[in-house]
């Protein structure tokens, strides 16, 4: 999550410059969050054409509105993050984008094509692939064989799929474990394998759902360059992540979801400075308390 409250950079987008100067941690006090009507006006802030556009998407389960009128865009070639507290609706939104769930309303457009409710395997053929929070490799198969499963989306012959798997394994740091059973991998190894299986499908857009969850600090530090490398190779990456170290190091733009609704958009430093984001994570009134504490030189 965000870590200790005292480590957050804070700025109130609606406050006067004088009110924010005391607790911006050097950030520009004019940084602004977004109201519900502002998202469309900031589409394309990274400069690229939209590879993915989600327009007014909603999904309810019984009386629970898990995703509520969400609209966002992901620029081609970008590395974008989606953050928010547990239960915010992030994974549900990914499922709606990738076709594992069908929205009650709204549309999902991939590379100009309406794919709303389209089956995941069809979307994968178009170039949209996702990973999952809970990694479930084929335990009895080798790392090479697991990665080949993804390659078979485009490759018919087994020998060719296995050969392609070797190159993908090298990209994610599993080159020396190709013949190891997947069941023998560590948690970090299984996370890399999940990423490798997705990459083997040759995605244009890769949806990463908490690829760093469950890793220790050393493993996270080793995984961050792997994810960055994927983006540098030209794959558009949209990642759900709670590890803020990764978000701050990787993401060019961050969307924030809370209680099924988008509450902020901006560069990582902007987003963690937004009082609405602070309160979504730490509770109502927290931002004001932290602001007062900062005005008093850190005294509560």
What confidence tens digit (pLDDT) does each residue in 257-275 have? 999 999 999 999 899 888 8
Average pLDDT along the chain: 82
pLDDT score recorded for residue 275: 86
Give the architecture (CATH level 2) of 31-295.
3-Layer(aba) Sandwich (3.40)
In 87-142, DSSP assigns E strands to 105-110, 113-114, 128-130
Pick 196 or 292 by higher pLDDT: 196
CA-nearest of 13, 20, 96, 9 to 58 is 96
pLDDT at 136 exceeding the cut of 50? yes
The alpha helices in the chain, defined as continuous H runs, are 17-20, 90-98, 120-126, 143-151, 158-171, 187-199, 217-232, 244-250, 268-271, 275-282, 286-295
pLDDT score recorded for residue 74: 96
pLDDT score recorded for residue 200: 95
* pLDDT tens readout for residues 200-222: 999 999 999 999 998 999 999 99
* pLDDT tens readout for residues 175-191: 999 999 999 999 999 99
**pTM score of the predicted model:** 0.79
Q: Tell me the average pLDDT across 224-237.
A: 95
pLDDT at 28 exceeding the cut of 90? no
pLDDT at 36 exceeding the cut of 70? no
Pick 48 or 118 by higher pLDDT: 118
Question: Could you give the 3-state DSSP secondary structure of residue 16?
Answer: coil
Confidence of residue 228 (pLDDT cuts 50, 70, 90): very high
pLDDT score recorded for residue 280: 86
pLDDT score recorded for residue 30: 27
pLDDT at 29 exceeding the cut of 50? no
């Amino acid at each position: 999550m965000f870590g200790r409250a005292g480590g957050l950079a804070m700025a109130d987008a609606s406050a006067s410059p004088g009110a924010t100067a005391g607790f911006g941690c050097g950030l520009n006090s004019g940084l602004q969050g977004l109201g519900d009507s502002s998202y469309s006006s900031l589409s394309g802030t990274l400069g690229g054409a939209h590879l993915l556009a989600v327009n007014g998407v909603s999904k309810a389960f019984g009386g629970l509105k898990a995703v509520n009128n969400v609209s966002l865009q992901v620029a081609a070639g970008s590395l974008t993050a989606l953050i928010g507290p547990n239960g915010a609706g992030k994974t549900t939104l990914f499922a709606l984008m990738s076709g594992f769930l069908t929205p009650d309303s709204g549309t999902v457009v991939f590379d100009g094509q309406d794919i709303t409710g389209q089956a995941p395997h069809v979307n994968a053929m178009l170039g949209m692939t996702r990973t999952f929070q809970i990694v479930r490799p084929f335990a009895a198969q080798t790392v090479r064989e697991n990665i080949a499963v993804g390659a078979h989306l485009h490759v018919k012959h087994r020998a060719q799929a296995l050969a392609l798997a070797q190159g993908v394994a090298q990209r994610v740091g599993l080159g020396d474990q190709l013949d190891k059973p997947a069941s023998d991998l560590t948690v970090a190894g299984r996370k890399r394998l999940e990423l490798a299986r997705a990459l083997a499908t040759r995605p244009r857009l890769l949806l990463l759902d908490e690829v760093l969850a469950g890793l220790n600090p050393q493993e996270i530090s080793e995984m961050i360059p792997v994810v960055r490398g994927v983006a540098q190779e030209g794959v558009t990456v949209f990642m759900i992540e709670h590890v803020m170290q990764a978000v701050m190091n990787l993401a060019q733009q961050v969307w924030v979801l809370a209680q099924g609704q988008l509450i902020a958009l901006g560069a990582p430093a902007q987003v963690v400075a937004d009082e609405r984001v602070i309160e979504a994570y730490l509770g109502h009134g927290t931002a004001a308390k932290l602001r007062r504490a900062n005005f008093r030189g850190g005294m509560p």
